[in-house]
Structure 1
């Protein structure tokens, strides 16, 4: 496997891929679920290095990729998959080609976050994937969904299923996947162990609050998020409740 990616095996056919040379703001998780009938991949990384070249085994069973939402650090490699699932509310953004740059100030401008652009480094990677690589040439191309999914849809993996949960707020089409057999939730950027971002132009705080209120009552065993380490149910509730307190207009 290419040194650009780190691989962590969780057992039960679950593998996490991450990109250690990507700045933490964009360093996302690619979750690879190897199941009986087919494989499913949740999100597709930044796309600096082609997944097919770096991790060829990932494509051995022609997996379905499920895109948790339409941001560059989650859809950069989506074009490599024959079948791509995601929520229709993010389909137009994907089809237009999501805003993308490895230049920190330029990325802040494209995302509409110039006020926090000072937190972005000049370049969003700390190493080149190969000699001569030009970060200025980085782009994320247009992606068309082959499998639009809605809340409650089920993805059959052969004796095990993933249920789609539409949880808008971070983006209009943000989704999570619940594997009911194990109680595992693949949450994308709906929730992770950190400050939850709700100030992008496409974000909706009221919708985000409803999504997190729902998650507070969801019976899960573990959360595998779009960024950082996995969370247990107690930590999920802590993060969600902290967000709800922070965004409570009444200060309750």
Structure 2
């Protein structure tokens, strides 16, 4: 274990995750001690028959230990795409679903590290002269934790999801939207009854990433053209705060204008 980390203040495992009740049987779970680049939201939705968890965080701290109530009704974990900050906790779930285009990468093991330079290299991220964080976590999850032991376990999927698939939780139905660009198998899920979109990394209120090795700018443009016209009431994204349809349209149109001007 690196000596410069030993003196860091650890946090109790239960406190690694922050939970916010969004109302209507929806809980947002986040990891406040994680660097912004990989600090993702995941969403626990409860139906009458079962629950679903949209994405699963970094997996630095075991969800079953920190939030055992999450597993009481054997929820499905629905992965919006195969990046470490969204799938790290997924191997803990018995029922895992994602788009087929992400299945091979998930089975092989997601490139992962808590060391900034190593992670940037594994993901093919160009820092463009910006400082690279030494560590992607700002506190130790438990005394004596060694960031060098972190990895995302390979996993198989129990269900393959494609555009238009519906997931019935009992009193709550989700529709899968295949929206490639960030990754080939990026999906969002829409609860049409409430107009709630769980967007993963397809869109959030920040700089959208379309320059990873398996990103596709042309596909991303088509996905955001679709989202710009989508009738929703609220977007619960993979990063940052939630926003309404007006902001969704603004974000999509800003991206599309930038790509038109940039010629990509």
TM normalised by structure 1 equals 0.97
Q: Which of 127, 130, 133 is residue 142 of structure 2 equivalent to?
A: 130
Aligned-partner SS, 2:85? helix
Q: Does 1:83 align with 2:95?
A: yes
Structure 1 Cα separation of the partners of residues 135 and 127 of structure 2? 18
1:150 corresponds to which of 162, 175, 178 = 162
Superimposed CA distance per residue, residues 127-182 of structure 1 (whole angstroms, 9 cap, x where no aligned partner): 00001100011101101111001100000011221000000000000000000110
Instruction: Identify the residue that residue 54 of structure 1 maps to in structure 2.
Output: 66
Q: How many angstroms does 1:250 deviate by?
A: 7.1
From 141, 151, 160, give the equivalent of 2:172.
160
Of 104, 107, 110, the match for 1:98 = 110
SS in 1 for 2:103: helix
Q: Distance in 2 between matches of 1:123 and 1:32?
A: 28
The residue aligned with 1:71 is 83
- Is residue 169–residue 204 contact of structure 1 (8 Å, CA) maintained in 2? yes
Matched, 1:215 2:227: yes
Runs of 4+, deviation exceeding 4 Å:
none
Structure-2-length-normalised TM-score: 0.93
Label 1:117 to 1:108 Cα distance change in 2 as closer, same or farther (>3 A). farther
8 Å CA contact retained: 1:65, 1:81? yes
C-alpha distance 250-50 of structure 1, shift in aligned 2 (>3 A) = closer
- Measured on the aligned residues, the alpha-carbon RMSD in Å equals 1.2
Measured against aligned partners, the alpha-carbon deviations of 1:53-109 in whole angstroms (never above 9, x if no partner) come to 100000000000000000000000000000001000111111111110000000000
Asked if the contact 1:42–1:67 (Cα under 8 Å) also holds between the matched residues in 2, the reply is: yes
1:115 deviation in Å? 3.6
Change (3 A) 1:121 1:244: same
Q: Which deviations, in whole Å up to 9, do the C-alpha atoms of 1:196-242 show, x marking residues without a partner?
A: 00000010000000000000111100000000100100000111001
Q: Is the CA contact 1:104–1:117 (under 8 Å) kept in the aligned structure 2?
A: no
Q: Give the Cα separation in 2 of the matches to 1:16 and 1:250.
A: 35
Q: 1:173 and 1:248, CA in 2 relative to 1: closer, same or farther beyond 3 A?
A: same
1:170 to 182, 194, 205: 182
Worse-superposed segment, 146-155 or 109-118: 109-118
